[in-house]
Chains A and B, each alone.
Chain A
């Protein structure tokens, strides 16, 4: 975008925003320079991943831009399995998490007694506990149930790990839906479940999307549980896979960064397409907004 169009766009901003920027034209360009330099420094580590992933490795004949690192990791390593595992685990976690969290969030939003407020408190406390405490007993329990080195076991834990924040997020969204809509449905003879599924959920797509993005990112990025529970190469998720691959091929930065690009592509794609629904920190917005 050129400076001219930027100005036109800014001219459309409401008065109160414009007043804040009255420090003058020169100040504006200094601030632009500042934000450019800061942003550049901040994303150097991310740019580096992309650049190194398309740079030929030392023992390669290629020069300049190359995709051979990607070809190498997709044909010579288990990265396809890791990608599949990560996608499967994240997808199941998201779906189950939404199915469990939305009715519970509805209770949190509409219920009004001391049980419900205690439940909200319990959920807040649960999300603040260290995962490592739960991992050890669950490891013993799951090894008796055959759920160690099993994608299902990891999914169950991820649903538990995302659930409490997801309930909070859904509750915060349901709070914004006027209860009069449901009351109208009740008068028409709908049950609570009927009004919930047909009236409330149907109007909650933005809330569901934010919650789904939160759960996806958590399941996609989670490291400790995957490290403890997934034991064989083909069952690794990308988090464990990437780190193992990095430990074994530390000198081959091209391949390591190619796997890194594979790993960060889905979150970045989701973030760029749905960034309107991206809620940082999940529970933060709900707590601060109240």
Chain B
């Protein structure tokens, strides 16, 4: 699919074209220089996006920073209170519960979907009839809107009359309340996230596996490696770059995820499944606590800016080596 074609074309193009800015082509400096003189045109080309970036990303983030130092509501800015909002957020137990659950949700979301996605990518790489059809069907959880899948999962698990609780009851587990019990609700939300995300991982890992030179496997077989050794010593290192990139992206997706949780449990029962994003939303738009809500969101923003800059540099470094 297009991930494959784009990256394949990229590899081919690398040698011919000096790619820069985003793609630091290895040794690609020689052919550069030609386009630099078009600075004026390039500025005009980039201008609309820069304007939108300033208006829709920079302005709100700066304004949010300013707002987080005030104690107001959605209409009035309110008095300047220094770092009081941060102090009240950082000392509240609710914030730390949400932060901890965000961490759990992210770790389970990233590694769960990666494990399932990689497993399926490995399975689909072998000789299976109707290979393409399975791939398309397995991508559906990613294609179907989250609102629809959340509705459908609600039908599956939410009430005691839903199919899964009825099944659990029939199997002798008693009355299993998937979304009413705090621990079970947490587990359900994490499984829901893994279910939504595994197609992403499957696609990423499939295209990485497709570019692995299969002669290496032949060599390892000749050397007498067993399947597990081949997997850990050859397959995994060969796809490590894609693995790393997809972990980073999935971490960002999970931390920022709002609909998955909000639509399934709305943060409940008794805030058990509240992540930081859901907490920021509900304190601003449901409890009218704008200052603390914005402070939570702004804290997340700062952490994410630092993390993504560091990780981006890391990706670029791996690239150059």
Report whether B155 and A48 are in contact in the complex, using a CB–CB cutoff of 8 Å.
yes
B96 CB-CB contact with A under 8 Å: no
Report whether A119 and B143 are in contact in the complex, using a CB–CB cutoff of 8 Å.
no
Report whether A171 and B149 are in contact in the complex, using a CB–CB cutoff of 8 Å.
no
Nearest residue in A to B49 (C-beta to C-beta)?
A104
Nearest residue in A to B244 (C-beta to C-beta)?
A288
Nearest residue in A to B12 (C-beta to C-beta)?
A176
In the assembled complex, the Cα of A161 lies from the Cα of B55 at a distance in Å of 12
A202 CB-CB contact with B under 8 Å: no
In the assembled complex, the Cα of A57 lies from the Cα of B151 at a distance in Å of 17
B34 CB-CB contact with A under 8 Å: yes
Nearest residue in B to A16 (C-beta to C-beta)?
B214
In the assembled complex, the Cα of A44 lies from the Cα of B140 at a distance in Å of 11
Report whether B13 and A288 are in contact in the complex, using a CB–CB cutoff of 8 Å.
no
Cross-interface CB contact of B21 among A100, A109, A161, cutoff 8 Å: A109
On chain A, the residues within 8 Å of B6 by CB distance are: 169, 172-173, 176, 207, 210, 279, 285-286, 289
> What secondary structure prevails in chain A residues at the interface with B?
helix
On chain A, the residues within 8 Å of B10 by CB distance are: 172, 175-176, 286, 289-290
> What secondary structure prevails in chain B residues at the interface with A?
helix
Cross-interface CB contact of A267 among B46, B144, B200, B246, cutoff 8 Å: B144
In the assembled complex, the Cα of A124 lies from the Cα of B23 at a distance in Å of 13
Q: Whole-angstrom distance from the CB of A177 to the nearest CB of chain B? A: 7
Report whether A239 and B145 are in contact in the complex, using a CB–CB cutoff of 8 Å.
yes
What is the number of residues of chain A that contact chain B, defined by CB distance less than 8 Å? Answer: 129
Query: Given A45-B149, A221-B145, A260-B152, A179 and B18 touching (CB < 8 A)?
Result: yes
Using a CB-CB cutoff of 8 Å, which residues 1-36 of chain A contact chain B? 1, 3, 6-7, 10, 16-21, 23, 28, 31-32, 34-35
Report whether A281 and B200 are in contact in the complex, using a CB–CB cutoff of 8 Å.
yes
A126 CB-CB contact with B under 8 Å: yes
Q: Whole-angstrom distance from the CB of B281 to the nearest CB of chain A? A: 6
Report whether A103 and B46 are in contact in the complex, using a CB–CB cutoff of 8 Å.
yes
Using a CB-CB cutoff of 8 Å, which residues 154-196 of chain A contact chain B? 156-157, 159-161, 163-164, 167-169, 171-173, 175-180, 183, 191-193, 196
Given A104-B49, A109-B19: 16 more A-B contacts, CB < 8 Å: A6-B129, A21-B127, A31-B127, A46-B152, A103-B44, A104-B46, A109-B22, A126-B57, A129-B61, A136-B284, A141-B63, A239-B259, A264-B148, A278-B1, A281-B3, A286-B6
Interface positions of B (Cβ within 8 A of A): 1-13, 16-24, 31-36, 38, 41-42, 44-46, 48-49, 52-53, 55-57, 59-61, 63-64, 67, 74, 120, 123-131, 134, 136-156, 195, 198-200, 203-204, 207-208, 214-215, 217-218, 241-242, 245-246, 249, 252, 255-256, 258-259, 262-263, 277, 280-281, 284-285, 290, 293-294, 297-298, 300-301, 304-305, 307-309, 312, 315, 319
